Amino acid sequence: MTDMVTTRDARILVVDDDPAIGAVLTALLSQEQMAAHWVASGEAALTALDGQPFDAVLTDVRMPGMDGLGLLDRIGARRPDLPVVLLTAHGTVPMAVEAMKRGAADFLLKPFDRDEMLFVLRKAMLAAERGAALLERPAARKLLGASAAMRELDDLIARAARGNATVLIRGESGTGKELVARALHDASPRRGGPFVKLHCAALPDSLLESELFGYEKGAFTGAATRKPGRIELADGGTLFLDEIGEVPLGMQVKLLRVIQEREFERLGGHETVHVDVRFVAATHRDLEALVARGQYREDLFYRLNVVPLRLPPLRERPGDVALLARHFCATHARADGGREAVLSDEAVQLLAAQPWPGNVRELENFVERLVVLTKGRQIDVAEVLRELAPEQPRLADDADPGARAAGDLSLDENRRKTERAALQAALARAGNNRTLAARLLGVSRRTLYTKLELHGLL
């Protein structure tokens, strides 16, 4: 269990009503070169989150006023990308299931072990960093569409939800695979049980196994207590394995056994654990090609592909772009201080003319950026063109004539100028907070720093 991501200079918000525990946690984190900030209540934590950026939250569960689960809900509504780790002296598997259902990254039991606390925090931040650009955002999106392809998909979901067979969701990145998995669970007899998800590409192999199967005390350095894995936490409900094509060959054998027999052993243990779990998997990879090259087990592929569902890319349902764009505009306008924002008909037509290789996720990020960076109530063609220039300088042939006029300048020169202006505008709106600026632009922090260096803005 090595090769953990570095957390030097990470900012951790510690929330605990006991000053002694707050002091101990901040001291331990400071020893690891993390910037720890302690507050004594959930209300104070929300105020702190409004005032400065954090990379993770470590919060007690039982506190006067807003408890840890309430704080988890509030953070999830505001910052779904921020990992929250719960700390409790009253931990049980049902409580852990409830916490995972509500979006917790992980949980720890008091009295906590220093190494395990650091291990869990680092793991949570690693998953958030690697998965932020890949994970769907169900709080901000719904499975929308009036096209024939989407109506057929809705019918397949309704039929598949009634059974217990394993479902394999296939589709390009950004098409909404997690939303389909959630829809399957919500429409199934298991809707009252947990919906637990794991992004298989967001964690290295050494962490993926412990996340799936859990571990016994002493299984590795930092394993101070027994910890249930995601499979065990999903007992009675649904386990969603996103990017199942990234699971390494060595672990595919263990995963195959769980799916076939509904039993497994925790890491470092010998006791067989039996579970009642429905497996839903998703991938954008061509699994048949991986099987042909010997990079994926054929028996696991057939075990996963019992009920296949295919999500159409956005280019196959261009008629849904207008519906999606207007929905995202209204959703993100409410999130941006409760303001009103509408897309003009011409702006919607221009959006519908774009190819959107990143599918619905790319469209949502783009519309969110329009909402954040447009001052007025109405978003017109000019605003759309301004934001399209750095990303998609070549517009569709039937786009608005104003778009073609942008090609009169040198394409590279126009792109550089527009990209630099967009970076400066995002930094200004974010008060020079680069983490927030990256979110406004819909890019990772690494991409933002690369662009800032390229334009001499560092």
Q: Domain extents for the chain?
A: 11-131, 148-312, 316-454
Alpha-carbon distance of 455 to 448, in angstroms, equals 11
| CATH fold label, 11-131 | Rossmann fold (3.40.50)
Alpha-carbon distance of 239 to 99, in angstroms, equals 15
Q: pLDDT value at position 92?
A: 61
- Which are the contacts of 20, defined by CB distance < 8 A and separation ≥ 6? none
| CATH fold label, 148-312 | Rossmann fold (3.40.50)
Is the model's pLDDT at 135 over the cut of 50?
no
Tell me the sheet residues that pair with 378: 342
Is the model's pLDDT at 153 over the cut of 80?
yes
Same fold, 148-312 and 316-454: no
225-229, 302-306, 316-320: range with highest mean pLDDT? 302-306
Between 119 and 378, residue with greater pLDDT: 378
Q: Residue 196 carries which side chain, given as an amino acid letter?
A: V
Alpha-carbon distance of 279 to 262, in angstroms, equals 10
Is the model's pLDDT at 140 over the cut of 80?
no
Q: pLDDT value at position 372?
A: 87
Q: pLDDT value at position 130?
A: 52
Integer Rg of the chain from CA: 23
Alpha-carbon distance of 15 to 44, in angstroms, equals 8
Least confident range of 197-211, 224-238, 354-368, 444-458: 444-458
Tell me the sheet residues that pair with 290: none
Looking from the CA of 13 toward its CB, the CA atoms found within 13 Å total 28
Q: pLDDT value at position 74?
A: 86
Is the model's pLDDT at 45 over the cut of 90?
yes
Is the model's pLDDT at 266 over the cut of 70?
yes
Between the two ends of the chain, the Cα-to-Cα distance in Å is 36
Alpha-carbon distance of 83 to 75, in angstroms, equals 9
Alpha-carbon distance of 221 to 4, in angstroms, equals 12
| 310: its two tokens | 């295919």
CATH class of 316-454: mainly alpha
Average pLDDT over every residue of 51-77: 88
Q: What percentage of the chain carries pLDDT values higher than 90? A: 34
pTM of the model: 0.60
Q: pLDDT value at position 90?
A: 64
Q: Are 59 and 27 in contact (CB under 8 A)?
A: no
Per DSSP bridges, beta strands 167-170 and 106-109 are unpaired
410 falls in which pLDDT band (50, 70, 90)?
Answer: low
Average pLDDT over all residues of the chain: 82
Q: Are 370 and 383 in contact (CB under 8 A)?
A: yes
Alpha-carbon distance of 59 to 424, in angstroms, equals 35
The DSSP letter of residue 42 is H
Q: pLDDT value at position 415?
A: 67
Is the model's pLDDT at 232 over the cut of 70?
yes
Is the model's pLDDT at 412 over the cut of 70?
no
Q: pLDDT value at position 404?
A: 40
Q: Where are the alpha helices (DSSP H) in 305-358?
A: 321-335, 345-352
Which of 101, 127, 120 lies closest to 59 in space, CA to CA? 120
Least confident range of 92-101, 295-304, 379-388, 389-398: 389-398
Is the model's pLDDT at 401 over the cut of 80?
no
3-state class (DSSP) for residue 182:
helix
Is the model's pLDDT at 37 over the cut of 70?
yes
Between 247 and 144, residue with greater pLDDT: 247
